[in-house]
Amino acid sequence: MTISDKQVVEFQTKLLSWYKENGRHFPWRNKSATNYQKIVSEVLLQRTKAVTIAKFFPKFIRKYPSWKQLGNATEEELQESLRPIGLYKQRGSRLFKLAQELKKRKGRFPKERSEVEELPMMGQYITNAYELFILKKSSPLLDVNMARVIERYFGQRKLSDIRYDPYLQDLAHKLVTSINSYEINWAIIDFAASICKARDPKCPMCSLNKNCKFITQLP
């Protein structure tokens, strides 16, 4: 089951067009956002609604403006700071470990992707975000949202875990390549959040519903 370039281009074009009218705006997407803010925002966004983090983010950044300040916080302090957004014990410990690691490295990440991905809290998704925003590579923000859109439109994944499914990984990478990678990534995620939702997707008003595998299977 191969996917043609034509399908890919149509997908990209329609979504970018949708995004220009309906894209969301968040502080971590601003030009002025620091590399630190971009990584931290991805940590906060894990399994947590972006709108929730939009309200929480400014407070957190005021409290911990850089890796240096974050590195001075204790593990318990970080956990307590994260309590309002959930997953606070695990996420607090892991963020603490990452902060300590970057303290040692003076705020510098390793060069190789494989080394970055070995750092605490830097999993498959955040490492992709690191490549996209900091190394300026065209890597996909392949989370549950992007995975859902891809699977509905192009077809189901093979493995249960997004991280290890080469079909999803390869296709996601292809979808965000050859154009403005920031925009297409954000377009897919915003589209997933407001149109191609997990529950109650807005298929009737979807600009991609003509060639979508999902809608053609509806009763």
Q: Applying CB under 7 A, which residues contact DNA?
A: 24, 26, 28-29, 41-42, 45-52, 83-92, 94, 120-127, 141, 143-145, 148, 159-161, 163-164, 186, 189-190, 192-193, 197-199
Q: Which is nearer to DNA, 4 or 160 (CB)?
A: 160
Helices 144-154 + 166-175 axis angle, to 10: 90
Q: Measured from the CB atom, is 4 or 114 closer to DNA?
A: 114
Q: 123-126: long-range contacts at Cβ-Cβ below 8 A with a sequence spacing of 24 or more?
A: 123/163, 124/162, 124/163, 125/42, 125/46, 125/163, 126/39, 126/42, 126/43
Q: How far apart are CA 120 and CA 127, in angstroms?
A: 11
Residue nearer to DNA on the CB measure, 64 or 190 = 190
Q: Least Å distance between CB 10 and DNA?
A: 22
Q: Which residues contact 124 (CB under 8 A, 6 or more apart)?
A: 117, 142, 162, 163
In whole angstroms, how close is the CB of 6 to DNA at the nearest point? 27
What's the closest the beta carbon of residue 44 comes to DNA, in angstroms? 8
CA–CA distance, 182 with 176 (Å, rounded to integer): 8
CB of 33 to DNA, least distance (A): 10
| C-beta of residue 93 within 8 angstroms of C-beta of residue 70 | no
Nearest distance, CB of residue 206 and DNA, angstroms: 16
Closer residue to DNA in complex, CB, 134/144? 144
Do 188 and 146 meet the contact criterion of CB atoms below 8 Å apart?
Answer: yes
Question: To the nearest whole angstrom, how small is the minimum distance from the Cβ of residue 4 to DNA?
Answer: 27
Question: With respect to DNA, which residue has the nearer C-beta, 32 or 160?
Answer: 160
Choose between 7 and 52: whose C-beta lies nearer to DNA: 52
| Selection from 206, 210, 198, 213 nearest residue 15 by Cα | 206
Retrieve residue 35's tokens: 């590399």
Extract the tokens encoding 38.
């971009």
| Helix, coil or strand: residue 212 | coil
